[in-house]
Structures are given as C-alpha cells and as structure tokens.
Amino acid sequence: MVYRAEYLWIDGAEPTPEIRSKTKILPDGTEPGVWGYDGSSTNQAPGDRSDIVLQPVFQCPDPIRGGDNVLVMCETLHTADQSPIPSNTRAVAREAEDKYGDQDMWFGLEQEYTLLDPVTGWPAGFPEHGYPRPQGPYYCGVGAVKIFGRDLVERHAEACIRAGLKISGTNAEVMPGQWEFQIGPAGTVEVGDHLWIARYLLYRLAEDEDLEVSLEAKPMKGDWNGAGMHTNFSTGKMREDYDAIIAACEALGQPGKPEEHLAAYGVGIEDRLTGAHETQRFDQFSYGVSDRGASIRIPWQVAHDKKGYIEDRRPNANADPYLVSAVMTNTVGAVLT
C-alpha cells in the first residue's frame, strides 16, 4: 500500500526563520526522494523563479501518525546547480563538521519556550488582567496554581522519544507558562536536525491543545525571565582535560568573537542579555565556575572533575541551532586542534 513522509524544511521568514512541512504519499518499499516547493510563498525566491529543491538529509519515524510513516528533514537547494540557498543553514553546520568533526564535538541544547494563550496573547497562567505571583515558585514546580501546559509537555517528550530524537529531559521554567526541553549530547549537524524536528513536533502537538508556542527571547518585559537556548558544548579533549576547557573559554573571548557569536545567537539579544535574570550583558564577555551571570558557565562538577563541558548561556530561544553549533565548532575547533 502506501505510507506518508512529512517533508520538513526551514523557511526564509524575517527576522526569525520557522519550520514548514508538507506531506508526500509514497508506495510502500520506495524511499522519500528529492522534491520541491514554491519558494515565493516562504520568502525564499521571486515568483518568476519560484521552485526550490528539497533534498532529504535525515529521517525518523513520525510519532504522531505512527506506523511506517516518517518525518524527513530536508536541505533547500537552487534548481540550477543544486547548491544551498542562502537560508540553508544546515550547509553551514555541515561545513564546520567537515572541518573539525574529528575533534568529536558534542552539543546539548536547552530549548526554552513560552506557551501563550491564543486569545489573550499572554503566557499560559497569566490572568486576563494583572499579573501572577512574582517569580519564585514556578521553576521545576508542581501544583495547579503554578504549572500551566504540562499535558502538552508530556505529550511532546513522548513524541520525541518515539521519533528516536536525543531528548535528554524537560523542566518547568522560572516564568509561569515557560518550559524547557533538552536535546543532546549530539554532533554539530545532528543536534540541529534533532532540535528542528523537536520544534516541529511541539508546534504540531500544540495545535491540538489550544496553546501557541513562542520562542521569543523576552516575551514579557519587566521582572520576568527571558527564554534562551543554553548551549552545552565539549570536544573529545575537553572531556579529558581541564586545560582544554579553559582554552575553549578563552577562544570564545578572543577579540571579535563575542560579536561574531551573538550575530548567530538569535533575534532580540539586547532585550534578553541585560545582566539581570541569570544573564551576562550582551556587551560584556566573561566565564566562571557555577556563574549563571557569566556568558560561559563552567559547571561545578566540571571544575571538580577537571574535565567535561562548558555552557554558553547566550543563545536565544529563537536561535537557529545549525548556526549556533557551526560557530561554536569553528571557534573552538580552530584553537583546540
């Protein structure tokens, strides 16, 4: 008979690219092949040369449809010469991995997000008028007046597991309606594939729950935490040796590097990296053991074991994981060779 392949790709939306998808119905026993779409409807091509090529690059079981159905992550290519179109950021991650992948980079991305009530536009758990109790009881909290949206969080984690994604945990965050899931450890390209598909599943499942998912970096102004995508990172050497941990931190602080990294870390960096709410200011660079007010945190356990990984706390929730993993791989890879 037939099965369904959901083709996924990243669009050209400004300022923050989003995931798109469409379904191909295929005879059993055939592979999802090259396909295409109308790039003039995704801000990726002019109307008179609108075709964009979808090149399947990674697939996993579709946990929502079940059965033999699959999700297919694609790269986007020009029709003329099959080269990556400008918004194909996976190609950037691929290049970085080709260059430095022999250092065995691992990434663990902490994707924070906010569930919004589609009627009020406010985070789930915020009353229609006024504000909930100040931050304090919500982070990793339990109980009906603290927690909003847990059904979705649970369904999403189950879907990621069934899809075979490297999801490593979930938790309620500091602001009501804010949550996190983690993907990793995974390689430079792999972490982006898995995170983009996990984002797709989250949006898709939220359709059924009367909730909207926002990756905005600072959804509520004022005394409310923003939403980030902390990037935990190690190379083979860093997992063996503390000197390599320090060398990686120093590499990230070299002249010009903080600016280069922030440019890849998402939209609204200045709004979120204020120096308050467990962040370092966007125009300062620092690293330190256990320091959640530093740009880079060395976890306590890592300082104790004298090996492990570092946490770059700067990326925004709306960052593109392919660009984050690529710039990290390139900066640290060049120094630790």
Binding-residue total with ligand ADP (CB under 6 A): 17
Site membership for ligand ADP, residue 318 (CB under 6 A): no
Residue nearest to ligand ADP (CB): 108
49 close to 40: Cβ distance less than 8 angstroms: no
Site membership for ligand ADP, residue 75 (CB under 6 A): no
Binding-site ranges for Mn ion (CB under 5 A): 110, 180, 230
- Closest distance between Mn ion and the C-beta of residue 273, in Å? 14
**Contact pick of 135, 168, 286, 330 for ligand ADP (by CB under 6 A):** 168
Helical axes 90-100 vs 321-336, angle rounded to 10°: 20
- Closest distance between ligand ADP and the C-beta of residue 153, in Å? 14
DSSP-derived 3-state class of residue 315 = coil
**Judged by CB under 6 A, which stretch of 30-38, 152-160, 229-237, 314-322 contacts ligand ADP?**
229-237
Instruction: CB nearer to ligand ADP: give 97 or 110.
Output: 110
Site membership for ligand ADP, residue 311 (CB under 6 A): yes
- Closest distance between ligand ADP and the C-beta of residue 183, in Å? 6
Unique residue bearing structure tokens 């690059």:
57
72 close to 9: Cβ distance less than 8 angstroms: no
Site membership for ligand ADP, residue 190 (CB under 6 A): no
Query: d(Cα 231, Cα 108) in Å, to the nearest integer?
Result: 6
**Contact pick of 39, 56, 63, 184 for ligand ADP (by CB under 6 A):** 184
Cα–Cα nearest to 312, from 114, 108, 112, 100 = 108
115 close to 152: Cβ distance less than 8 angstroms: yes
**Contact pick of 94, 194, 218, 230 for ligand ADP (by CB under 6 A):** 230
Residue nearest to Mn ion (CB): 230
151 close to 115: Cβ distance less than 8 angstroms: no
Q: Which does 239 bind (CB under 5 to 8 A by kind): ligand ADP, Mn ion, none?
A: ligand ADP
Taking residue 223's Cβ as centre, other Cβ atoms within 10 Å add up to: 11
For residue 233, list its beta bridge partners: 107, 310
Taking residue 18's Cβ as centre, other Cβ atoms within 10 Å add up to: 14
